[in-house]
Amino acid sequence: MTRDVHEQARQWIALGGVDDLPEVERAWLQTHLHDCESCRAYAEAAGRVIRSVRSVPITAGPALVRETQMRVRMRARQLGEERERLWLVGMSCFLVGVSTAITMPLLWRAFHWIGQWAEMSPPVWEAAFGLFAIAPALVTSLLLLGRGVHIVGSGGRSRG
């Protein structure tokens, strides 16, 4: 057997042993350990080390426990606030969609009437309607851009 085969077997043993491997690798490792005395001795030694480490009780100090509890509570609070914000954003989007569905046909008729009353050609009043319809989004975008507000990956806000 080559040296690479022994290194692979020892690496798998060191990473977690036979039981944590997928079926194909587990079967290969068990066969290899059956045939190779040095790797079998390595696996037994690694098992003894793992058992001895697991036999030593490890406890966290009171300060660590308090700090961990505080951070868990803080993160839970942050997630709750984020959930509330997302719910508000979702409701706002829903209400904007409903109001748009109701008002756009009325605005279309109003622009059509104004266009006929002012004797404008249809492309002119239709373009005016389009600009009027997207004006709130454009103004909001410009205001946010002017303030330098950006959405960051962690869900927070950052000023640029």
Domain regions of the chain by residue span: 3-55, 62-159
Mean pLDDT (the chain, rounded): 84
Instruction: Identify the pLDDT of residue 6.
Output: 86
**Is there a contact between 39 and 6 (Cβ–Cβ < 8 Å)?**
yes
pLDDT band at 19 (very low <50, low <70, confident <90, very high): low
d(CA 85, CA 144): 18
When comparing pLDDT for 138 and 80, which is higher?
Answer: 80
List 158's β-bridge partners, or say none.
150
List 157's β-bridge partners, or say none.
151
pLDDT band at 67 (very low <50, low <70, confident <90, very high): very high
Q: What is the average per-residue pLDDT within 67-89?
A: 93
| Phi-psi group of 16: left, alpha or beta (phi > 0 → left; psi -120 to 50 → alpha; rest → beta) | left
Which two three-digit tokens encode residue 87?
Answer: 């719910």
Q: What is the average per-residue pLDDT within 60-84?
A: 94
- DSSP strand E in 6-153: where? 149-151
CA distances from residue 155 to 56, 72, 82, 85, 94 in whole angstroms, order as listed: 41, 18, 8, 10, 21
**Is there a contact between 12 and 21 (Cβ–Cβ < 8 Å)?**
yes
Amino acid making up residue 20: D
Instruction: Identify the pLDDT of residue 3.
Output: 60
pLDDT band at 159 (very low <50, low <70, confident <90, very high): very low
Is the confidence at residue 152, as pLDDT, over 90? no
pLDDT band at 160 (very low <50, low <70, confident <90, very high): very low
Which two three-digit tokens encode residue 39?
Answer: 């790797």
**Is there a contact between 76 and 70 (Cβ–Cβ < 8 Å)?**
no
Tens digits of residue pLDDT in 91-134: 998 998 899 899 899 999 999 999 999 999 999 989 999 998 88
